[in-house]
Structure 1
Amino acid sequence: MAQDAHAAVSAFRWARLGEPLALWKATFRASRREVRAVFRELDLRAPQRIHSRQIAQLYRMQLGDALRYLAAPPISADDLKVLADSTLSGAALRKPSQARSVLRTIQQTLDPFRFQWVITARRPSPAEWKAAIVATASLLTYQRVATIRRNADKDDQERAVKAYLRDVLGLREEAPRKIDTMRDTPPPGSFCGESEVDGRKADIVVSLHDGRLLLIECKVSNSALNSVKRLNNDAAAKAAHWIKAFGVSQVVPAAMLSGVFKTRHLAHAQDQQSLALFWAHRLEDLGAFVNATK
Protein backbone atom coordinates (compact mmCIF):
# COMPACT_ATOMS: atom_id res chain seq x y z
CA MET A 1 0.00 0.00 0.00
CA ALA A 2 2.76 2.45 0.93
CA GLN A 3 4.61 1.72 -2.31
CA ASP A 4 1.52 2.44 -4.40
CA ALA A 5 0.79 5.61 -2.44
CA HIS A 6 4.32 6.80 -3.18
CA ALA A 7 3.96 5.94 -6.87
CA ALA A 8 0.70 7.91 -7.03
CA VAL A 9 2.38 10.96 -5.48
CA SER A 10 5.22 10.71 -8.02
CA ALA A 11 2.74 10.59 -10.89
CA PHE A 12 0.88 13.59 -9.46
CA ARG A 13 4.12 15.55 -9.07
CA TRP A 14 5.19 14.75 -12.64
CA ALA A 15 1.83 15.89 -14.03
CA ARG A 16 1.80 19.16 -12.08
CA LEU A 17 5.40 20.13 -12.86
CA GLY A 18 4.87 19.35 -16.54
CA GLU A 19 1.67 21.35 -16.78
CA PRO A 20 2.02 24.29 -19.20
CA LEU A 21 1.32 27.86 -18.08
CA ALA A 22 -1.17 28.36 -20.91
CA LEU A 23 -4.18 27.51 -18.73
CA TRP A 24 -3.12 29.92 -15.97
CA LYS A 25 -2.37 32.73 -18.41
CA ALA A 26 -5.65 32.42 -20.31
CA THR A 27 -7.67 32.18 -17.09
CA PHE A 28 -5.85 35.15 -15.56
CA ARG A 29 -6.53 37.34 -18.61
CA ALA A 30 -10.23 36.50 -18.47
CA SER A 31 -10.35 37.10 -14.71
CA ARG A 32 -8.53 40.43 -15.05
CA ARG A 33 -11.06 41.61 -17.65
CA GLU A 34 -13.90 40.77 -15.28
CA VAL A 35 -12.24 42.47 -12.30
CA ARG A 36 -11.58 45.63 -14.34
CA ALA A 37 -15.25 45.67 -15.36
CA VAL A 38 -16.32 45.40 -11.72
CA PHE A 39 -13.95 48.22 -10.74
CA ARG A 40 -15.35 50.41 -13.50
CA GLU A 41 -18.97 49.62 -12.68
CA LEU A 42 -18.59 50.19 -8.95
CA ASP A 43 -16.10 53.07 -9.26
CA LEU A 44 -14.07 52.11 -6.22
CA ARG A 45 -12.21 55.39 -6.58
CA ALA A 46 -15.36 57.00 -5.17
CA PRO A 47 -17.19 54.32 -3.14
CA GLN A 48 -19.69 56.82 -1.75
CA ARG A 49 -21.23 56.99 -5.21
CA ILE A 50 -21.91 53.25 -5.50
CA HIS A 51 -25.63 52.51 -5.81
CA SER A 52 -27.42 49.24 -5.14
CA ARG A 53 -28.72 49.07 -8.73
CA GLN A 54 -25.14 48.56 -9.87
CA ILE A 55 -25.09 45.21 -8.05
CA ALA A 56 -27.96 43.95 -10.21
CA GLN A 57 -26.12 45.23 -13.27
CA LEU A 58 -22.99 43.27 -12.32
CA TYR A 59 -24.94 40.04 -12.09
CA ARG A 60 -26.63 40.74 -15.43
CA MET A 61 -23.11 41.10 -16.86
CA GLN A 62 -22.10 37.73 -15.34
CA LEU A 63 -19.62 39.43 -13.01
CA GLY A 64 -20.83 37.99 -9.72
CA ASP A 65 -17.69 35.89 -9.24
CA ALA A 66 -15.38 38.87 -9.55
CA LEU A 67 -17.56 40.88 -7.16
CA ARG A 68 -17.31 38.20 -4.46
CA TYR A 69 -13.51 38.23 -4.73
CA LEU A 70 -13.30 41.83 -3.51
CA ALA A 71 -13.85 40.43 -0.01
CA ALA A 72 -11.22 39.17 2.43
CA PRO A 73 -11.30 36.26 2.27
CA PRO A 74 -13.31 35.84 -0.93
CA ILE A 75 -16.93 34.89 -0.26
CA SER A 76 -18.45 31.82 -1.87
CA ALA A 77 -21.76 32.24 -3.67
CA ASP A 78 -23.50 30.08 -1.06
CA ASP A 79 -22.06 32.14 1.81
CA LEU A 80 -23.03 35.41 0.15
CA LYS A 81 -26.62 34.19 -0.17
CA VAL A 82 -26.72 33.56 3.57
CA LEU A 83 -24.87 36.74 4.62
CA ALA A 84 -26.93 38.99 2.35
CA ASP A 85 -30.17 37.02 2.79
CA SER A 86 -30.64 37.01 -0.99
CA THR A 87 -30.91 34.32 -3.65
CA LEU A 88 -28.68 36.40 -5.99
CA SER A 89 -31.16 35.78 -8.81
CA GLY A 90 -32.01 38.51 -11.28
CA ALA A 91 -35.50 38.84 -9.85
CA ALA A 92 -34.17 39.17 -6.29
CA LEU A 93 -31.52 41.75 -7.16
CA ARG A 94 -34.05 43.91 -8.97
CA LYS A 95 -35.47 44.59 -5.52
CA PRO A 96 -33.52 47.55 -4.04
CA SER A 97 -33.54 46.03 -0.55
CA GLN A 98 -31.92 42.79 -1.76
CA ALA A 99 -29.30 44.58 -3.86
CA ARG A 100 -28.48 46.92 -0.96
CA SER A 101 -27.99 43.92 1.30
CA VAL A 102 -25.49 42.38 -1.14
CA LEU A 103 -23.70 45.72 -1.48
CA ARG A 104 -23.45 46.17 2.31
CA THR A 105 -22.05 42.64 2.67
CA ILE A 106 -19.32 43.33 0.10
CA GLN A 107 -18.50 46.70 1.68
CA GLN A 108 -18.27 45.19 5.17
CA THR A 109 -15.92 42.41 4.02
CA LEU A 110 -13.76 44.46 1.62
CA ASP A 111 -10.07 43.55 1.82
CA PRO A 112 -8.35 46.38 3.77
CA PHE A 113 -4.96 45.62 2.21
CA ARG A 114 -6.04 45.60 -1.43
CA PHE A 115 -8.45 48.50 -0.94
CA GLN A 116 -6.77 50.66 1.67
CA TRP A 117 -7.90 53.81 -0.12
CA VAL A 118 -11.53 52.79 0.33
CA ILE A 119 -11.02 52.21 4.04
CA THR A 120 -9.27 55.58 4.47
CA ALA A 121 -11.75 57.40 2.18
CA ARG A 122 -9.28 58.74 -0.37
CA ARG A 123 -8.55 58.34 -4.07
CA PRO A 124 -6.08 55.56 -4.96
CA SER A 125 -2.78 56.11 -6.68
CA PRO A 126 -2.41 54.52 -10.15
CA ALA A 127 -0.08 51.93 -8.62
CA GLU A 128 -2.62 51.00 -5.92
CA TRP A 129 -5.37 50.74 -8.52
CA LYS A 130 -3.33 48.42 -10.74
CA ALA A 131 -2.09 46.31 -7.81
CA ALA A 132 -5.63 45.77 -6.55
CA ILE A 133 -6.75 44.59 -9.98
CA VAL A 134 -3.83 42.16 -10.34
CA ALA A 135 -4.23 40.80 -6.80
CA THR A 136 -7.98 40.27 -7.17
CA ALA A 137 -7.60 38.67 -10.58
CA SER A 138 -4.91 36.34 -9.20
CA LEU A 139 -7.18 35.17 -6.37
CA LEU A 140 -10.00 34.50 -8.81
CA THR A 141 -7.66 32.74 -11.24
CA TYR A 142 -6.31 30.43 -8.55
CA GLN A 143 -9.79 29.25 -7.62
CA ARG A 144 -10.87 28.76 -11.22
CA VAL A 145 -7.74 26.86 -12.23
CA ALA A 146 -8.03 24.63 -9.15
CA THR A 147 -11.61 23.79 -10.12
CA ILE A 148 -10.64 23.13 -13.74
CA ARG A 149 -7.79 20.87 -12.62
CA ARG A 150 -9.95 18.95 -10.20
CA ASN A 151 -12.68 18.32 -12.75
CA ALA A 152 -10.22 17.53 -15.55
CA ASP A 153 -8.25 15.06 -13.38
CA LYS A 154 -11.42 13.25 -12.35
CA ASP A 155 -12.74 13.19 -15.93
CA ASP A 156 -9.42 11.82 -17.21
CA GLN A 157 -9.46 9.09 -14.58
CA GLU A 158 -13.04 8.10 -15.41
CA ARG A 159 -12.25 7.95 -19.14
CA ALA A 160 -9.20 5.76 -18.48
CA VAL A 161 -11.17 3.32 -16.32
CA LYS A 162 -14.01 3.08 -18.84
CA ALA A 163 -11.56 2.51 -21.70
CA TYR A 164 -9.86 -0.26 -19.73
CA LEU A 165 -13.14 -1.97 -18.89
CA ARG A 166 -14.33 -1.74 -22.48
CA ASP A 167 -11.19 -2.17 -24.60
CA VAL A 168 -9.03 -4.41 -22.42
CA LEU A 169 -11.51 -6.46 -20.39
CA GLY A 170 -14.14 -6.56 -23.14
CA LEU A 171 -17.06 -5.45 -20.98
CA ARG A 172 -20.05 -3.87 -22.73
CA GLU A 173 -20.79 -0.22 -21.97
CA GLU A 174 -24.46 0.36 -21.21
CA ALA A 175 -26.38 3.62 -20.75
CA PRO A 176 -26.38 5.19 -17.27
CA ARG A 177 -29.46 4.34 -15.26
CA LYS A 178 -31.25 4.72 -11.95
CA ILE A 179 -30.63 1.67 -9.77
CA ASP A 180 -32.99 1.10 -6.85
CA THR A 181 -32.91 -2.71 -6.81
CA MET A 182 -30.66 -5.40 -8.25
CA ARG A 183 -33.21 -5.84 -11.06
CA ASP A 184 -32.23 -2.38 -12.34
CA THR A 185 -28.54 -3.21 -12.84
CA PRO A 186 -26.78 -3.69 -16.18
CA PRO A 187 -26.45 -7.32 -17.30
CA PRO A 188 -23.44 -9.26 -15.98
CA GLY A 189 -20.26 -8.50 -17.90
CA SER A 190 -21.18 -4.88 -18.60
CA PHE A 191 -20.81 -1.44 -17.01
CA CYS A 192 -22.28 2.04 -17.16
CA GLY A 193 -21.16 5.57 -16.33
CA GLU A 194 -22.39 7.84 -13.57
CA SER A 195 -25.61 6.42 -12.20
CA GLU A 196 -27.80 6.96 -9.16
CA VAL A 197 -27.63 3.92 -6.93
CA ASP A 198 -30.22 3.99 -4.16
CA GLY A 199 -30.15 7.78 -4.16
CA ARG A 200 -26.34 8.18 -4.18
CA LYS A 201 -24.33 8.69 -7.37
CA ALA A 202 -21.64 6.21 -8.35
CA ASP A 203 -19.10 7.28 -10.97
CA ILE A 204 -18.90 3.86 -12.64
CA VAL A 205 -21.15 0.83 -12.08
CA VAL A 206 -19.74 -2.57 -13.10
CA SER A 207 -22.00 -5.62 -13.19
CA LEU A 208 -19.60 -8.41 -12.29
CA HIS A 209 -19.76 -11.87 -13.82
CA ASP A 210 -20.97 -13.37 -10.52
CA GLY A 211 -23.96 -10.99 -10.33
CA ARG A 212 -22.55 -8.56 -7.79
CA LEU A 213 -22.19 -4.82 -8.41
CA LEU A 214 -18.81 -3.11 -8.30
CA LEU A 215 -19.54 0.55 -7.48
CA ILE A 216 -16.50 2.68 -8.29
CA GLU A 217 -15.88 6.21 -7.05
CA CYS A 218 -13.08 8.01 -8.91
CA LYS A 219 -11.02 10.06 -6.43
CA VAL A 220 -8.17 12.46 -7.19
CA SER A 221 -6.50 14.18 -4.23
CA ASN A 222 -3.88 16.93 -4.22
CA SER A 223 -3.08 16.75 -0.49
CA ALA A 224 -3.22 14.39 2.47
CA LEU A 225 -5.85 16.58 4.13
CA ASN A 226 -7.96 16.61 0.98
CA SER A 227 -7.72 12.82 0.80
CA VAL A 228 -9.67 12.45 4.05
CA LYS A 229 -12.61 14.34 2.55
CA ARG A 230 -12.50 12.55 -0.79
CA LEU A 231 -11.88 9.03 0.50
CA ASN A 232 -12.95 8.59 4.12
CA ASN A 233 -15.77 11.14 4.28
CA ASP A 234 -17.20 10.77 0.76
CA ALA A 235 -16.45 7.41 -0.85
CA ALA A 236 -16.55 5.47 2.42
CA ALA A 237 -19.84 7.12 3.41
CA LYS A 238 -21.36 5.98 0.12
CA ALA A 239 -19.95 2.49 0.70
CA ALA A 240 -21.75 2.22 4.04
CA HIS A 241 -24.98 3.46 2.45
CA TRP A 242 -24.84 0.95 -0.42
CA ILE A 243 -23.94 -2.00 1.82
CA LYS A 244 -26.87 -1.16 4.09
CA ALA A 245 -29.23 -0.85 1.10
CA PHE A 246 -28.19 -3.95 -0.85
CA GLY A 247 -26.21 -6.13 1.55
CA VAL A 248 -22.53 -6.99 1.69
CA SER A 249 -23.04 -10.03 -0.54
CA GLN A 250 -24.53 -7.96 -3.39
CA VAL A 251 -22.26 -4.92 -3.76
CA VAL A 252 -18.54 -4.15 -3.72
CA PRO A 253 -17.99 -0.42 -3.07
CA ALA A 254 -14.61 0.70 -4.40
CA ALA A 255 -12.46 3.78 -4.94
CA MET A 256 -10.12 4.38 -7.88
CA LEU A 257 -7.28 6.55 -6.57
CA SER A 258 -4.88 9.09 -8.07
CA GLY A 259 -2.71 11.67 -6.33
CA VAL A 260 -1.82 12.17 -2.67
CA PHE A 261 -3.21 9.83 0.00
CA LYS A 262 -1.91 9.01 3.49
CA THR A 263 -1.44 5.29 4.07
CA ARG A 264 -3.25 5.42 7.42
CA HIS A 265 -6.31 6.92 5.72
CA LEU A 266 -6.14 4.22 3.07
CA ALA A 267 -5.88 1.47 5.67
CA HIS A 268 -8.83 2.88 7.60
CA ALA A 269 -11.01 3.09 4.48
CA GLN A 270 -10.09 -0.45 3.47
CA ASP A 271 -10.20 -2.23 6.82
CA GLN A 272 -12.75 -0.24 8.82
CA GLN A 273 -15.04 1.22 6.13
CA SER A 274 -15.37 -1.78 3.76
CA LEU A 275 -13.99 0.07 0.74
CA ALA A 276 -12.01 -1.77 -1.95
CA LEU A 277 -9.10 0.31 -3.24
CA PHE A 278 -7.61 0.40 -6.73
CA TRP A 279 -4.90 2.67 -8.17
CA ALA A 280 -5.22 4.46 -11.50
CA HIS A 281 -1.57 3.64 -12.28
CA ARG A 282 -2.30 -0.09 -11.78
CA LEU A 283 -5.52 -0.78 -13.66
CA GLU A 284 -4.41 -4.38 -14.12
CA ASP A 285 -5.41 -4.97 -10.48
CA LEU A 286 -8.95 -3.93 -11.37
CA GLY A 287 -8.80 -6.30 -14.34
CA ALA A 288 -7.65 -9.21 -12.17
CA PHE A 289 -10.50 -8.60 -9.73
CA VAL A 290 -13.15 -8.42 -12.45
CA ASN A 291 -11.86 -11.54 -14.22
CA ALA A 292 -11.78 -13.47 -10.95
CA THR A 293 -15.59 -13.16 -10.73
CA LYS A 294 -16.13 -15.26 -13.84
Structure 2
Amino acid sequence: MIPADVGTLRAELGATGYLADDGLATALFLAVALRQPLLLEGEPGVGKTRAALALAEVLDTRMFRLQCYEGLTAAEALYEWNHPRQLLAIRLAESRGEALADDDLFGEAYLLARPLLAAVTHPGPRPAVLLIDEVDRADDEFEAHLLELLAEGSVTIPELGTRHAVHRPVVVLTSNRTRDLHDALKRRCLHHTIPHPDTAAVEAIVRSRVPEVGDALADQVARALGRLREPPLLKPPGVAEAIDWAHALHALGVTTLDAGSAGRTLGAVLKYDEDRETVLDAGLEAVVGGR
Protein backbone atom coordinates (compact mmCIF):
# COMPACT_ATOMS: atom_id res chain seq x y z
CA MET A 1 0.00 0.00 0.00
CA ILE A 2 2.98 2.32 0.48
CA PRO A 3 3.82 4.31 -2.68
CA ALA A 4 7.31 3.61 -3.96
CA ASP A 5 8.62 7.09 -3.22
CA VAL A 6 7.62 10.70 -2.61
CA GLY A 7 7.38 11.46 -6.31
CA THR A 8 5.00 8.57 -6.88
CA LEU A 9 2.78 9.64 -3.99
CA ARG A 10 2.76 13.23 -5.24
CA ALA A 11 1.69 12.07 -8.70
CA GLU A 12 -1.03 9.82 -7.27
CA LEU A 13 -2.34 12.66 -5.11
CA GLY A 14 -2.44 14.83 -8.23
CA ALA A 15 -4.49 12.17 -9.99
CA THR A 16 -7.16 12.60 -7.30
CA GLY A 17 -7.23 16.36 -7.94
CA TYR A 18 -5.08 17.27 -4.94
CA LEU A 19 -1.90 19.16 -5.87
CA ALA A 20 0.70 18.79 -3.12
CA ASP A 21 4.12 20.39 -3.13
CA ASP A 22 7.23 18.34 -2.40
CA GLY A 23 7.24 19.24 1.31
CA LEU A 24 3.66 18.10 1.92
CA ALA A 25 4.07 14.99 -0.22
CA THR A 26 7.17 14.09 1.81
CA ALA A 27 5.32 14.55 5.10
CA LEU A 28 2.42 12.36 3.93
CA PHE A 29 4.82 9.72 2.61
CA LEU A 30 6.62 9.53 5.96
CA ALA A 31 3.32 9.32 7.84
CA VAL A 32 2.45 6.23 5.79
CA ALA A 33 5.90 4.65 5.67
CA LEU A 34 6.71 5.17 9.36
CA ARG A 35 3.08 4.88 10.52
CA GLN A 36 3.70 7.99 12.61
CA PRO A 37 0.93 10.55 13.20
CA LEU A 38 1.17 13.71 11.10
CA LEU A 39 0.09 17.12 12.40
CA LEU A 40 -0.84 19.51 9.58
CA GLU A 41 -1.12 23.18 10.52
CA GLY A 42 -2.03 26.21 8.47
CA GLU A 43 -4.68 28.79 7.72
CA PRO A 44 -8.25 27.62 7.14
CA GLY A 45 -8.79 26.74 3.50
CA VAL A 46 -5.27 25.72 2.52
CA GLY A 47 -6.19 22.06 2.05
CA LYS A 48 -5.34 20.30 5.31
CA THR A 49 -8.51 18.23 5.48
CA ARG A 50 -8.46 17.59 1.75
CA ALA A 51 -4.92 16.18 2.11
CA ALA A 52 -6.19 13.39 4.37
CA LEU A 53 -9.12 12.66 2.07
CA ALA A 54 -6.83 12.45 -0.94
CA LEU A 55 -4.39 10.22 0.94
CA ALA A 56 -7.15 7.75 1.82
CA GLU A 57 -8.19 7.73 -1.84
CA VAL A 58 -4.64 7.05 -2.98
CA LEU A 59 -4.22 4.25 -0.44
CA ASP A 60 -7.64 2.85 -1.40
CA THR A 61 -8.63 2.45 2.22
CA ARG A 62 -11.35 3.42 4.67
CA MET A 63 -11.19 6.85 6.29
CA PHE A 64 -12.60 7.69 9.70
CA ARG A 65 -13.07 11.37 10.52
CA LEU A 66 -13.35 12.92 13.96
CA GLN A 67 -14.48 16.54 13.80
CA CYS A 68 -13.27 18.23 16.97
CA TYR A 69 -15.20 20.94 18.80
CA GLU A 70 -15.23 22.62 22.18
CA GLY A 71 -16.52 20.24 24.84
CA LEU A 72 -15.74 17.06 22.89
CA THR A 73 -15.28 14.18 25.32
CA ALA A 74 -13.25 11.00 25.04
CA ALA A 75 -16.43 8.91 25.14
CA GLU A 76 -17.91 10.77 22.17
CA ALA A 77 -14.72 10.28 20.18
CA LEU A 78 -13.93 6.72 21.26
CA TYR A 79 -17.06 4.67 21.98
CA GLU A 80 -20.42 4.58 23.68
CA TRP A 81 -22.72 1.89 24.95
CA ASN A 82 -25.91 0.97 23.16
CA HIS A 83 -28.25 1.94 26.00
CA PRO A 84 -31.54 1.01 24.25
CA ARG A 85 -30.19 -2.46 23.54
CA GLN A 86 -28.93 -2.79 27.12
CA LEU A 87 -32.34 -1.76 28.46
CA LEU A 88 -34.03 -4.29 26.18
CA ALA A 89 -31.70 -7.02 27.48
CA ILE A 90 -32.53 -6.06 31.09
CA ARG A 91 -36.29 -6.21 30.46
CA LEU A 92 -35.95 -9.51 28.64
CA ALA A 93 -33.95 -10.97 31.53
CA GLU A 94 -36.51 -9.70 34.04
CA SER A 95 -39.33 -11.31 32.08
CA ARG A 96 -37.47 -14.61 32.30
CA GLY A 97 -36.59 -14.18 35.94
CA GLU A 98 -32.88 -14.09 35.15
CA ALA A 99 -30.20 -11.90 36.70
CA LEU A 100 -27.74 -9.95 34.60
CA ALA A 101 -24.21 -9.13 35.71
CA ASP A 102 -22.30 -6.08 34.53
CA ASP A 103 -20.23 -8.31 32.26
CA ASP A 104 -23.42 -9.34 30.51
CA LEU A 105 -24.33 -5.75 29.68
CA PHE A 106 -20.93 -4.26 28.97
CA GLY A 107 -19.64 -6.54 26.25
CA GLU A 108 -18.82 -6.33 22.57
CA ALA A 109 -22.45 -6.84 21.59
CA TYR A 110 -23.44 -3.53 23.18
CA LEU A 111 -20.42 -1.48 22.11
CA LEU A 112 -20.82 1.31 19.54
CA ALA A 113 -17.48 2.33 18.03
CA ARG A 114 -16.84 6.00 17.39
CA PRO A 115 -14.06 7.21 15.02
CA LEU A 116 -11.04 6.55 17.27
CA LEU A 117 -12.04 3.01 18.19
CA ALA A 118 -13.31 2.27 14.69
CA ALA A 119 -9.95 3.22 13.18
CA VAL A 120 -7.99 1.12 15.66
CA THR A 121 -10.21 -1.96 15.24
CA HIS A 122 -10.50 -1.65 11.45
CA PRO A 123 -9.99 -5.21 10.16
CA GLY A 124 -8.04 -4.26 7.07
CA PRO A 125 -6.62 -5.57 4.87
CA ARG A 126 -5.23 -2.04 4.58
CA PRO A 127 -4.79 0.26 7.58
CA ALA A 128 -7.44 2.94 7.83
CA VAL A 129 -6.75 6.66 7.60
CA LEU A 130 -7.88 8.47 10.74
CA LEU A 131 -8.49 12.20 10.35
CA ILE A 132 -8.64 14.15 13.62
CA ASP A 133 -9.85 17.43 12.19
CA GLU A 134 -9.31 20.82 13.85
CA VAL A 135 -7.85 19.35 17.02
CA ASP A 136 -7.16 22.88 18.25
CA ARG A 137 -10.93 23.39 18.66
CA ALA A 138 -11.13 20.67 21.31
CA ASP A 139 -10.33 21.34 24.98
CA ASP A 140 -6.86 20.88 26.40
CA GLU A 141 -8.00 17.82 28.35
CA PHE A 142 -9.04 16.04 25.18
CA GLU A 143 -5.47 16.07 23.89
CA ALA A 144 -4.43 13.83 26.79
CA HIS A 145 -6.91 11.19 25.65
CA LEU A 146 -5.20 11.07 22.25
CA LEU A 147 -1.70 10.33 23.54
CA GLU A 148 -2.17 6.56 23.89
CA LEU A 149 -3.52 6.32 20.37
CA LEU A 150 -0.79 8.51 18.89
CA ALA A 151 2.06 6.81 20.72
CA GLU A 152 1.01 3.16 20.71
CA GLY A 153 -1.80 2.78 18.19
CA SER A 154 -4.12 1.54 20.93
CA VAL A 155 -7.11 2.71 22.96
CA THR A 156 -8.42 1.64 26.34
CA ILE A 157 -12.03 0.85 27.21
CA PRO A 158 -12.35 0.64 31.02
CA GLU A 159 -14.93 -2.15 30.93
CA LEU A 160 -13.14 -4.24 28.29
CA GLY A 161 -9.45 -3.35 28.49
CA THR A 162 -6.98 -2.13 25.88
CA ARG A 163 -7.54 -2.59 22.17
CA HIS A 164 -4.36 -2.76 20.06
CA ALA A 165 -4.55 -2.06 16.36
CA VAL A 166 -3.90 -5.04 14.11
CA HIS A 167 -3.32 -2.59 11.29
CA ARG A 168 -2.11 0.63 12.89
CA PRO A 169 -4.03 3.51 11.29
CA VAL A 170 -2.42 6.36 9.39
CA VAL A 171 -3.31 9.31 11.62
CA VAL A 172 -3.57 12.86 10.28
CA LEU A 173 -4.37 15.70 12.68
CA THR A 174 -5.18 19.20 11.46
CA SER A 175 -5.01 22.51 13.30
CA ASN A 176 -5.91 26.06 12.34
CA ARG A 177 -3.67 27.26 15.18
CA THR A 178 -6.49 28.94 17.10
CA ARG A 179 -4.54 27.88 20.19
CA ASP A 180 -1.21 26.25 20.95
CA LEU A 181 -1.20 22.47 21.21
CA HIS A 182 0.64 20.77 24.04
CA ASP A 183 4.21 19.60 23.58
CA ALA A 184 3.20 16.06 24.57
CA LEU A 185 0.98 15.81 21.52
CA LYS A 186 3.44 17.46 19.16
CA ARG A 187 6.29 15.18 20.25
CA ARG A 188 4.32 12.17 19.08
CA CYS A 189 3.71 13.61 15.61
CA LEU A 190 5.50 14.50 12.45
CA HIS A 191 4.78 18.15 11.69
CA HIS A 192 4.16 20.12 8.53
CA THR A 193 2.75 23.59 7.95
CA ILE A 194 0.83 24.12 4.73
CA PRO A 195 1.40 27.71 3.59
CA HIS A 196 -1.00 29.63 1.42
CA PRO A 197 0.05 28.78 -2.16
CA ASP A 198 1.30 31.40 -4.59
CA THR A 199 -0.77 32.59 -7.54
CA ALA A 200 0.55 29.98 -9.95
CA ALA A 201 -0.27 27.18 -7.52
CA VAL A 202 -3.79 28.55 -6.87
CA GLU A 203 -4.38 28.69 -10.62
CA ALA A 204 -3.23 25.09 -11.01
CA ILE A 205 -5.51 23.97 -8.18
CA VAL A 206 -8.53 25.78 -9.64
CA ARG A 207 -7.83 24.30 -13.06
CA SER A 208 -7.60 20.83 -11.50
CA ARG A 209 -10.67 21.07 -9.27
CA VAL A 210 -12.89 23.16 -11.58
CA PRO A 211 -11.66 22.34 -15.09
CA GLU A 212 -14.90 23.53 -16.68
CA VAL A 213 -14.05 27.21 -16.02
CA GLY A 214 -11.17 27.18 -18.51
CA ASP A 215 -7.60 28.37 -18.19
CA ALA A 216 -8.29 32.07 -18.64
CA LEU A 217 -10.88 32.34 -15.88
CA ALA A 218 -8.79 30.15 -13.57
CA ASP A 219 -5.91 32.58 -14.05
CA GLN A 220 -8.16 35.57 -13.34
CA VAL A 221 -9.58 33.97 -10.17
CA ALA A 222 -6.10 33.14 -8.87
CA ARG A 223 -4.81 36.66 -9.48
CA ALA A 224 -7.93 38.25 -7.97
CA LEU A 225 -7.59 36.03 -4.91
CA GLY A 226 -4.05 37.27 -4.42
CA ARG A 227 -5.24 40.87 -4.54
CA LEU A 228 -8.03 40.11 -2.06
CA ARG A 229 -5.44 38.85 0.41
CA GLU A 230 -3.50 42.13 0.34
CA PRO A 231 -5.76 44.40 2.44
CA PRO A 232 -6.16 43.64 6.17
CA LEU A 233 -9.22 41.38 6.26
CA LEU A 234 -10.78 39.52 9.18
CA LYS A 235 -10.71 36.29 7.17
CA PRO A 236 -8.39 36.38 4.14
CA PRO A 237 -9.72 33.95 1.53
CA GLY A 238 -7.86 30.70 0.91
CA VAL A 239 -7.75 28.03 -1.75
CA ALA A 240 -11.12 26.62 -0.71
CA GLU A 241 -12.70 30.02 -1.37
CA ALA A 242 -10.98 30.24 -4.76
CA ILE A 243 -12.55 26.91 -5.72
CA ASP A 244 -15.96 28.07 -4.45
CA TRP A 245 -15.58 31.31 -6.41
CA ALA A 246 -14.75 29.48 -9.62
CA HIS A 247 -17.79 27.21 -9.15
CA ALA A 248 -20.03 30.24 -8.56
CA LEU A 249 -18.76 32.08 -11.63
CA HIS A 250 -19.24 29.00 -13.80
CA ALA A 251 -22.78 28.48 -12.47
CA LEU A 252 -23.62 32.02 -13.58
CA GLY A 253 -22.11 31.45 -17.01
CA VAL A 254 -19.27 33.94 -16.43
CA THR A 255 -16.27 33.49 -18.72
CA THR A 256 -14.39 36.70 -17.85
CA LEU A 257 -14.00 38.07 -14.34
CA ASP A 258 -14.89 41.76 -14.20
CA ALA A 259 -16.10 44.14 -11.51
CA GLY A 260 -19.74 43.23 -12.14
CA SER A 261 -19.33 39.48 -11.91
CA ALA A 262 -16.97 39.84 -8.96
CA GLY A 263 -19.55 41.94 -7.11
CA ARG A 264 -22.32 39.39 -7.74
CA THR A 265 -20.22 36.50 -6.45
CA LEU A 266 -18.25 38.18 -3.67
CA GLY A 267 -20.19 36.19 -1.07
CA ALA A 268 -18.54 33.02 -2.36
CA VAL A 269 -15.08 34.26 -1.43
CA LEU A 270 -15.55 36.70 1.47
CA LYS A 271 -17.62 35.52 4.43
CA TYR A 272 -17.67 38.61 6.67
CA ASP A 273 -19.64 41.80 6.01
CA GLU A 274 -16.72 43.86 7.27
CA ASP A 275 -14.41 42.25 4.70
CA ARG A 276 -16.85 42.87 1.87
CA GLU A 277 -17.18 46.51 2.89
CA THR A 278 -13.40 46.87 2.98
CA VAL A 279 -13.07 45.46 -0.53
CA LEU A 280 -16.00 47.43 -1.94
CA ASP A 281 -14.64 50.65 -0.44
CA ALA A 282 -11.31 50.01 -2.16
CA GLY A 283 -13.08 49.27 -5.43
CA LEU A 284 -13.63 45.99 -7.23
CA GLU A 285 -11.68 47.28 -10.20
CA ALA A 286 -8.55 46.94 -8.11
CA VAL A 287 -9.40 43.27 -7.48
CA VAL A 288 -10.04 42.32 -11.10
CA GLY A 289 -7.45 44.71 -12.54
CA GLY A 290 -4.81 43.89 -15.10
CA ARG A 291 -1.64 41.96 -14.59
TM-score range, shorter chain: under 0.3
Higher helix share: 1
Higher relative contact order (CA 8 A, sep 6+): 2
